[in-house]
Amino acid sequence: MMSKYLIKGASVLGGERTDLLVADGRFAPLEDSAGATEIDAEGLVALPGLVDLHTHLREPGREDAETVLTGSQAAAKGGFTAVHAMANSMPVADTAGVVEQVYRLGQDAGWTEVRPVGAVTVGLAGQRLAELGAMADSRARVRVFSDDGMCVWDPVLMRRALEYVKAFDGVVAQHAQEPRLTEGAQMNEGEVSAVLGLQGWPAVAEEAIIARDVLLAQHVDSRLHICHVSTAGSVEIIRWAKARGVKVTAEVTPHHLLLTDELVRSYDPVFKVNPPLRSSEDVQALRAALADGTIDVVGTDHAPHPSEAKECEWAQAAMGMTGLETALSVVQHTMVETGLIGWQQVAKITSQTPATIGQLPWQGGSLAIGETAQLTLVDPAARWTVDPQKMATKGRNSPFAGLELPGAVIATFLNGHPTVLNGELNTPTDVGAL
Amino acid sequence: MRHLLSTHDLARADALQILDTAEEMAAVTEREVKKLPALRGRTVVNLFFEDSTRTRISFEAAAKRLSADVINFAVKGSSVSKGESLKDTAQTLEAMSADAVVIRHGASGAPQQLANSGWIDAAVINAGDGTHEHPTQALLDAFTMRRHWAKVRGLNSIGSDLSGLRVAIAGDVLHSRVARSNVWLLKTLGASVTLVAPPTLLPLGVSSWPVAVSYDLDATLDTGVDAMMMLRVQGERMNAAFFPSEREYSRRWGFDDARLARLDSLGLKDTIVMHPGPMNRGLEISSAAADSARSTVLDQVRNGVAVRMAALYLLLSGNSSSAHGSATENFERSK
Ligand SMILES: [Zn+2]
């Protein structure tokens, strides 16, 4: 038995203020509002539920770092109604069995839709293709394939993967990192790495793989997605490829939109991430590219780690940052408050386009009557100070800790059910009811 | 100054104070009784995650000459990578009430993390971290250069800086913490620095450093050099395509007999040849150059103790502001 919610006075996609009725899991005509629970949404922006193409949930295998349950709670608090769980779990999500396990854990948890990403190669080893078709045909219905964490370096294997996933409208999401050029890399290669004596991760190691892959994607006419673009040069290559009609999409993380490698001067491992934080010129180029559509989506690359993995020497520290609960605020801070984009475009880059890339037609809608009610209510006037101790994720490794950010997620509706109300976790829903 | 982590952030006044104090310490080491009571009852821990007998002994001698208690804490790299973390080790030292921790670590930034983490209260001295910095080495190099430069100009070294001194640093700059620390400190003290190396052994960001860069050692010598500092070539670089062969390296970038003679033919009679040691004789420096009258290799070792005494004294005597009296004056009073 689904409840009814009448959401009063929200600004839909940042536009005019209107009432929204959620009934039986869908947006419904207002005349059916009798008996609905009212929610005062005066001053709030209504967005379609956020969709993340790039989340690390760590289960199975590293439940000390995160579980599907805690990760999807963090997602709900961040305003997400769907996340794609990257394949670098232990065991790797490279078979129908593992992706079904992750999918089912997500359903059982019920906080957000969890779509497993299938590995491109067996064990992420870059040697043999995983059974992409079996994962696509499984109950998990995998459409996004990635060896994220590792680059599919072998150009023949990359070509075959791009071709093969066409059979089920899949997409290969590449972690672009030339492995030889980044052996031992610790941070962005440049002025700061030269002073700090940390081995550099050159921009060209990302750009060279992207250049190769857009040419491959064009050659075989397949869909390619570039994970976590981090350099101005990568943006130029993607812009060029799009102009030539290549079916390439690209994502940028919130942290690459805000932070630079200057922060590494602290040697605080909370700033260690792959790809590394780059220069302020790169940050400006990434923002501009997200605004003009060259970069299509924001992906969090949420990467929780237990504290001991970060409370150590920089060289030994794990790479990665949490991001689900800060993503929307960082987007507001870097893109909306700078005047680069409006809320309509926020909906596009955080929800609608990721849902299209991931082939989730019941996500990323326009909030029109009849659509499945995936909804996020944001208070753009709120300001809050990031405190990792108060987050739902198990990871305390937020690079934004102590920073004041704008925008608070007030409510998240998954399939018409509020998983977050008044900024707090409510009760889970039965995702399987869909 | 609470810690000595790098020369990059070392103020000119603090650098000069360390060098001036080191002059007084050097005088002490020439006495019959080479010991001062200044740090009696204080505990200095030599925390070495990486083997370096030379540096450890130098710090140990410095601490003992100031009457501090010294604990040598050697942590093998293997036990640290898994299991015992820097944090655990720091907390052990905290429980032992260490007043100063001299840390040598293979990871760049480890001393800074130790100092900033809140895991420990002690003063932290960086004794070499990864490919980042080795500030006391740079200070002892500067001390050596300053004495020489003052003598050449007929000045008193105390209070003087390195204005006008032309220094060339040649070799593996990319991986050298000694080079980094020297670049910043020499600049702070007014010297002009030229880095000479194959392009593969220079960091990509070097263009933003306050130095000149050259790929040609002979051309650099021709422009005039007062101090020629050779850097050690690490064995593992030779097989990692940083340069084609040892032979080619020593011909193009080694300080060999021909270049030693070249100093004479260029009329550079006061030019010194420096090396932080240990040397690869025949690779970056020839035996004749290393043993020549121009070589300061042994002076550098000797000066290392005085400089480290000065650093320990200034960090542990509580008041390191430039206003306080001279080190030996304080010692006299404390008697
Ligand atoms: Zn990745």
Cβ contact, residue pair A192, B203, below 8 Å: no
pLDDT for A390-420, tens place per residue? 999 999 999 999 999 999 999 999 999 999 9
**What 3-state class would DSSP assign to B76?**
coil
- For residue B28, what pLDDT is reported? 87
Please give the Cα distance from B63 to A388 (Å, whole number). Answer: 42
Distance A54 CA to ligand 1 centre (A): 8
Q: How confident is the model at residue A431 (pLDDT cuts 50, 70, 90)?
A: low
pLDDT in tens, A250-276: 999 999 999 999 999 999 999 999 999
Q: What mean pLDDT is reported for chain A?
A: 96
Report the distance separating Cα A154 and Cα A250, nearest Å. 21
| pLDDT of B322 over the 70 cut | no
Structure token digits, residue A117: 């990403």
DSSP secondary structure, B301-316, as one string: HHHHHHHHHHHHHHHH
| pLDDT of B54 | 93
Instruction: Taking residues A155-178, report their average pLDDT.
Output: 97
A380 has a pLDDT exceeding 90: yes
Q: How far apart are CA A137 and CA A146, in angstroms?
A: 17
Q: Which residue's structure tokens are 């892959």?
A: A213
Question: Does A48-357 match A4-45+371-381+388-393+400-433 at the fold level?
Answer: no
The SS3 call for residue A377 is strand
Give the range among A29-43, B66-80, B120-134, B285-299 with minimum mean pLDDT.
Answer: B66-80
Of A289, A259, A265, the C-alpha closest to A277 is A259
Question: What's the token pair of residue A354?
Answer: 């990721």
| pLDDT of res. B239 | 72
| Predicted confidence (pLDDT) at residue A434 exceeds the cutoff of 60 | no
Q: Which of the four pLDDT bands, split at 50, 70 and 90, describes residue B1?
A: confident
User: How many Cα atoms are found within 13 Å in the side-chain-facing hemisphere of A363?
Assistant: 31
Query: CB–CB of B35/B67 below 8 Å?
Result: yes
Residues with Cβ within 8 Å of residue B36, at least 6 apart in sequence:
B28, B65, B66, B67, B328, B331
Whole-Å CA distances, A55 to A71, A141, A198, A410, A426: 9, 17, 27, 22, 22
Residue of A55, A1, A58, A46 lying closest to A20 (CA atoms): A46
pLDDT at A1: 46
Cα–Cα distance between A18 and B299 in angstroms, integer?
82
Q: Beta strands A248-252 and A424-425: pairing type?
A: unpaired
Q: Does domain B135-297 have CATH number 3.40.50.1370?
A: yes
Measured between alpha carbons, how far is residue B131 from residues B104, B179, B300 in Å?
12, 9, 21
Domain positions in chain A are 4-45+371-381+388-393+400-433, 48-357
Rg, C-alpha atoms of chain A: 20
Q: How many CB pairs under 8 A join A and B?
A: 75
Q: Which amino acid does the sequence have at B80? A: V
- pLDDT higher than threshold 90 for residue B74: no
Q: Are B214 and B196 spatial neighbours (Cβ–Cβ below 8 Å)?
A: yes
Strands B43-48 and A5-12: unpaired
For residue B318, what pLDDT band results from cuts at 50, 70 and 90?
low
By the 8 A CB rule, do B65 and B35 touch? yes
Residues with beta carbon < 5 A to ion ligand 1? A 148, 175, 227
Using the mean position of ligand 1's atoms as its centre, give its distance from the Cα of residue A148 in Å: 4
**Nearest by CB: A315 against B87, B130, B177:** B130
C-alpha of A268 from chain center: 24
**pLDDT attached to residue A124:** 98
The answer to whether residue B80 scores a pLDDT higher than 80 is: no
Q: What is the rounded (10 degree) CA torsion for A273, A274, A278, A283?
A: -90
What band does B240 get if pLDDT is binned at 50, 70 and 90?
confident
Are residues B85 and A311, on separate chains, in Cβ contact within 8 Å? yes
Q: Which whole number is the average pLDDT over A429-433?
A: 59
Which chain A residues contact residue B108 at CB under 8 A? 186, 196-198, 267, 314-315
Residue A274 region, left (φ>0) first, then alpha (ψ -120 to 50), else beta? beta
Residues composing chain B: 335
Which alpha helices (H) appear in A180-229, and where do they start and end? 191-196, 203-220
Residues of B in contact with A186 (CB under 8 A): 108
Give yes or no for a contact between A222 and A209, defined as CB atoms under 8 angstroms apart: no
Based on its alpha-carbon atoms, the radius of gyration of chain B, rounded to whole angstroms, reads: 20
pLDDT higher than 60, residue B278 = yes
Sign of CA dihedral B108, B112, B117, B119: positive
Over residues B13-38, the mean pLDDT reads 92
CB atoms within 10 A of CB B157: 18
What's the pLDDT score for residue B77? 55
Terminal Cα-to-Cα distance of chain B (whole angstroms): 26
- Taking the CA of residue A300 as centre, how many other CA atoms within 13 Å lie in the half-sphere pointing to its CB? 34
pTM for the full model?
0.92
Say whether pLDDT at B320 is over 80: no
Cβ-contact B42, B64 below 8 angstroms: no
CA distance A170 to A213: 16
Residue A183 touches chain B, beta carbons under 8 Å: no
Residue A102 has pLDDT above 90, yes or no: yes
Q: Quick one: pLDDT at residue A427?
A: 85
Round to whole Å and give the CA distance between A261 and A272: 9
Of the candidates A46, A44, A27, A49, which has an alpha carbon nearest to the alpha carbon of residue A36? A27
Task: Give CATH 3.40.50.1370 domain extents, chain B.
Answer: 12-133+300-334, 135-297
Distance (Å, rounded) from C-alpha A173 to C-alpha A165? 11
Mean pLDDT score, A36-46: 97
Decide: A167 and A186 in contact? Cβ < 8 Å. no
Q: Which segments of B77-121 does DSSP mark as H helices, in order?
A: 77-81, 86-95, 110-116
Task: Write the class of the CATH domain A4-45+371-381+388-393+400-433.
Answer: mainly beta
* SS3 label, residue A183: coil
What distance in angstroms lies between residue B144's CA and the mean position of ligand 1's atoms?
Answer: 49
- Asked if residue A56 belongs to a known ligand binding site, the reply is yes
| Whole-number percent of chain A with pLDDT over 90 | 97
**pLDDT tens track for A298-309:** 999 999 999 999
Task: Determine contact, residues A332/A44, Cβ cutoff 8 Å.
Answer: no
Q: What is the mean pLDDT of chain B?
A: 91
Whole-angstrom Cα distance, residue A251 to residue A235? 10
Question: What are the angstrom distances between the C-alpha of A61 and each of A52, A88, A100, A280?
Answer: 21, 10, 15, 36
- Percent of chain B at pLDDT > 70 equals 92
Describe the strand order of the beta sheet including B227-230 as a list of residue ranges: B212-214, B192-196, B166-170, B227-230, B272-274
CB neighbour burial string for A214-241, b if at least 16 within 10 angstroms, e if fewer: bebbbebebbbbbbbbbbbbbbbbbbeb
At A264 the three-state DSSP class reads helix
Rounded-to-integer distance, Cα B125 and Cα B147, Å: 24
Look at residue B334 in the predicted model and tell me its pLDDT.
42
Nearest chain B residue (CA) to A192: B205
To the nearest whole Å, the CA of B203 is away from the closest chain A CA by 5
Taking only the tens place, the pLDDT of each residue in B213-229 is 999 999 999 999 999 99
Closest CA relative to residue B225, chosen from B179, B177, B266, B174:
B266
Helix, strand and coil content of chain B, in percent to the nearest 5, comes to 45, 15, 40
Q: Give the pLDDT confidence of B116-140 residue by residue, as tens digits.
A: 988 999 999 999 999 999 999 999 9
| Strand A248-252 with A297-298, pairing | parallel
Q: Residue B326 pLDDT more than 70? A: no
> Region A83-112: what's the mean pLDDT?
97
Q: What DSSP character marks residue B233? A: P
ipTM: 0.88
- Given this model, what pLDDT does residue B71 score? 94
Q: If you measure CA to CA, which chain B residue comes closest to A190? A: B205
- CATH topology classification for A48-357: TIM Barrel (3.20.20)
Residue A244 annotated as part of some ligand binding site = no
Which residue from B80, B106, B110, B98 is spatially nearest to B6, judged by alpha carbons? B110
What is the mean predicted confidence (pLDDT) over B11-20?
98
The CATH superfamily label for domain B12-133+300-334 reads Aspartate/ornithine carbamoyltransferase (3.40.50.1370)
Closest CA relative to residue A207, chosen from A182, A243, A170, A171: A182
Measured between beta carbons, the chain B residues lying within 8 angstroms of A189 are 204-205
Local structure of residue B11 (DSSP, 8 states): -
